[in-house]
């Protein structure tokens, strides 16, 4: 496990559109929150912090036996920004980079559930590689792809838009 990375599982929302807590929706017989925390732990790329909010006591129960640091975002009703601030605080306390793992992203859960190994690249806010983890069996070719995805996430652009942006500056293509 890399000591300088925090994986924050964001699970503070009220799931208003769904009408019930997404955190507790079963995926393969396991609550979604538990599955996300377990997948993050299984990746062994950093310490795992679960950011809870609405109904935190109920959600805490499903991960009580996992080695996860639980933080409660009392400002969860403000939305995702408040939850992200809680995650950033947790990473800053540890002087670590932050990898955000939304609790309700089924595609991320699906990758862990079906055993698809991943490469994960984490950048600091200056675009410098802070941490990289390659899960056993992850395709070698996807190492570079994970780096490109990390850059596009940093700049808030889709991959194809990012490429169009850097094409005009040869120094960025190297």
pLDDT in tens, 141-169: 878 887 777 776 666 655 566 667 667 76
**Closest by Cα among 173, 169, 116 to 148:** 173
Q: How confident is the model at residue 108 (pLDDT cuts 50, 70, 90)?
A: very low
**CA–CA gap between residue 106 and residue 22 (Å, rounded):** 10
Q: 155 vs 52, which has greater pLDDT?
A: 52
Q: What are the extents of the domains in the chain?
A: 5-118
Write down the CATH number for the domain with range 5-118: 3.90.550.10
Share of the chain above pLDDT 90, in %: 25
Residues 6+ apart with CB under 8 A from 15: 21, 22, 23, 54, 104
Where do we find the tokens 């009392």?
74
Query: What rounded mean pLDDT belongs to the chain?
Result: 80
Tell me, what's the pLDDT at 153?
Answer: 66
**Closest by Cα among 26, 27, 29, 73 to 50:** 73
Helix (H) or strand (E) holding 83: helix 80-93
**CA–CA gap between residue 118 and residue 71 (Å, rounded):** 26
pLDDT in tens, 10-21: 899 888 767 788
């Amino acid at each position: 496990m890399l000591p300088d990375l925090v994986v924050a599982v964001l699970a503070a929302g009220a799931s208003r559109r769904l009408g019930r807590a997404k955190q507790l929706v079963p995926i393969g017989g396991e609550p979604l929150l538990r599955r996300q925390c377990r997948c993050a732990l299984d990746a062994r790329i950093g310490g795992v912090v679960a950011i809870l909010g609405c109904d935190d006591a109920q959600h805490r129960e499903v991960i009580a036996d996992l080695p996860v640091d639980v933080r409660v975002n009392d400002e969860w009703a403000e939305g995702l920004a408040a939850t992200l601030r809680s995650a950033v605080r947790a990473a800053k306390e540890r002087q670590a980079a932050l990898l955000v793992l939304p609790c309700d992203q089924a595609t991320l859960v699906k990758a862990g559930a079906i055993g698809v190994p991943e490469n994960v690249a984490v950048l600091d806010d200056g675009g410098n590689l802070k941490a990289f983890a390659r899960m056993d069996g992850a395709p070698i070719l996807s190492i570079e792809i994970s780096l490109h995805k990390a850059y596009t996430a940093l700049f808030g652009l889709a991959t194809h838009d990012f490429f169009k942006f850097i094409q005009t500056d040869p120094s960025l293509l190297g």
